[in-house]
Amino acid sequence: MKQIYFTVTNDLTYDQRMQRICTSLSNGGYQITLVGRKLKSSVPLQRKPYAQKRLRCFFNKGFLFYSEYNLRLFFFLLAKKMDAVCAIDLDTVLPCYFVSLLRKKKKVYDAHELFCEMKEVVSRPQVHKLWKAVEKFCVPKFAQGYTVNANIRDILKEEYGVHYEVIKNVPLLQEKPPPAQPENFILYQGAVNEGRSFETLIPAFQWINVPFFIYGDGNFLSQAKVLIKENKLEEKIFLKGKAEPGELKKITPHALLGISVFENKGKSNYYSLANRFFDYMHAGVPQLCVDYPAYREINDEYKVAVLTNDLSSPSLAEKINAVIHDEALMDELRQNCIRAREKFNWQAEEKILLQFYQHLFA
């Protein structure tokens, strides 16, 4: 049985993509270990069909965290029996590369996004320079890999000459259809990070008479609290914190509308294909989404969202109000979600994943 180690910098509990990947490979006959980190806020790990390991760090953010975690990860992996190691994004790629080199093991790169083009990276010149150097050094050395959409695949091919597979970040198709009767709240689920348009999205709710539930946390959470207070929206916008994937799957289908907007600052956002886009789709929830290439391509085939290029507060409020008060449009979007999820689901992507690892070990 082939042993594969996957490496992330999160605490494993909320990473739905890695939970799907590791479960599929474990069920496919591989011995899988997913490695992340232990935080003070981490809840106990739930039992999975694969092994899970959290590494403890003294530092939890910035250069010191990444340095410490990469060193701890390197020595942890170096001592483990394995046949392959898979780095998830740039923040774990260096230890995976050096361990694979020293141990003469197969290595895989899973690019969840264009890491160097995230707003929190590209807006800080020295930070961007450092991560870009890591990318230029490592990515060409990872001949085997995959990413979440064709746009990112093509960019990596153009910049580094690598030929990666596309494995979309989509939910498992459930047999039971989602409930048809939504409740009176608008939903955002995911990281509350820089670049997610909260600066304009939160003030927009001055003109929207529906509660807004935000599930998640991140590096913009404290600013989001300030914006809610400044705009006197404490009785309308509710920061719900993180929800475990199983709990979130129960909440999402009841939303009136899902929100999936973020700034066009850095290629990572512009060429993204966020998992929340598909989470809303699978839950049968209409959404307001940015008009960027990957979303537009899917929406042209299955109209599951209303797209927008204008992320100003007045425009967002106008768009959201127009959608939620158009019952015919809402019903059309819900029905299209049910149709679209028959194509965009993990059962389809799982086949590509299993084929990739079969070829890796052939």
| pLDDT tens readout for residues 41-57 | 899 999 999 999 999 99
* Per-residue pLDDT at 295: 96
Can you give the pLDDT at residue 181? 74
- Of 257, 259, 258, 264, the closest CA to residue 309 belongs to 264
Q: Are 74 and 95 in contact (CB under 8 A)?
A: yes
Spatial neighbors of 178 by CB under 8 A, at least 6 apart, are 253, 282, 283, 284, 285, 338
| Cα(180)–Cα(178) distance, integer angstroms | 6
Inter-CA distances, 209 with 155, 180, 202, 232, 325, Å:
41, 22, 13, 13, 11
Secondary structure letter of residue 90 according to DSSP? G
* Tokens at 173, concatenated: 């198709």
- The interaxial angle of helices 275-282 and 327-340, nearest 10 deg, is 100
Q: What is the DSSP string of 265-277?
A: -SHHHHT---HHH
pLDDT confidence of residue 180: 60
8-state DSSP, 13? T
Look-up of token digits 């809610």: 228
pLDDT mean by block of 10 residues, the chain; 362 residues: 97 95 98 96 94 95 94 98 98 98 98 92 93 98 97 97 97 76 92 93 98 94 97 97 91 96 87 94 96 96 97 98 97 95 97 98 95
- Report pLDDT for 177: 62
pTM: 0.93
How far is it, in rounded angstroms, from Cα 214 to Cα 336? 25
Q: Is 105 left (phi over 0), alpha (psi -120 to 50) or beta?
A: beta
Decide if 166 contacts 189 (C-beta within 8 A): no
Angle at 349 (CA atoms; ends 154, 114), nearest 5 degrees: 35
